């Protein structure tokens, strides 16, 4: 009959613990498996300090994400050329109308008007839009 106390572990499953520093006949005497000189061979060195030995090399080897990413969103850009093609006289140019004409993709994001061309459409009203200095000068004319 098999009982719990009669069950033994299989052959080769148990490995005897290495007895270090118990004389040369034990197989690990003299330097006790630590090699010759150096910090690792001394007593009283914590493993944490040993891990920190190569920290600089690890730091230099790791790839870094370069550059800078701004937290603020970029402006949506609309050119004067697109406004000339899509708007008629005396219309209102606002983020809502630009979204309706599919010149921008988001209503809540800031819209900026850029371009070196002159406005051919007359009487346009601009609301809630940013403009470049060049566009402001052409509007004043």
Q: Which residues of 27-49 are buried (b: 16+ CB within 10 A; e: fewer)?
A: eeeeeeeeeeeeeeeeeeeeeee
Work out the percent of the chain whose per-residue pLDDT is above 70. 96
pLDDT given at position 53? 64
pLDDT given at position 43? 85
CATH number for 76-140 (one of 3.100.10.10, 2.40.10.340, 1.10.10.10, 3.40.50.720): it is: 3.100.10.10
Please compute the mean of the pLDDT values over residues 1-17 and round it to a whole number: 85
Q: List the chain domain ranges.
A: 76-140
pLDDT digits (tens, 9 = 90+) for 12-66: 888 888 888 899 988 888 888 888 998 888 888 777 766 666 778 888 888 988 8
Please compute the mean of the pLDDT values over residues 83-106 and round it to a whole number: 91
State the pLDDT confidence band at 72, using cuts at 50, 70 and 90: confident
* pTM score of the predicted model: 0.50
Distance between CA atoms of residues 26 and 24, nearest Å: 5
């Amino acid at each position: 009959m098999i009982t719990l106390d009669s069950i033994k572990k299989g052959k080769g499953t148990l490995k005897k613990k290495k007895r270090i520093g118990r004389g040369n006949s034990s197989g690990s005497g003299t330097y006790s498996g630590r090699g010759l000189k150096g910090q690792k061979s001394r007593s009283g060195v914590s493993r944490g300090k040993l891990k920190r030995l190569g920290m600089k090399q690890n730091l230099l080897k790791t790839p870094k994400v370069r550059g800078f990413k701004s937290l603020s969103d970029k402006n949506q850009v609309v050119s004067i050329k697109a406004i000339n093609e899509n708007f008629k006289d005396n219309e209102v140019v606002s983020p809502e109308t630009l979204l309706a004409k599919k010149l921008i993709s988001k209503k809540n994001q800031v819209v900026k008007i850029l371009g070196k061309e002159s406005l051919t459409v007359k009487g346009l009203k601009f609301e809630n839009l940013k403009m470049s200095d060049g566009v402001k000068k052409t509007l004043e004319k």
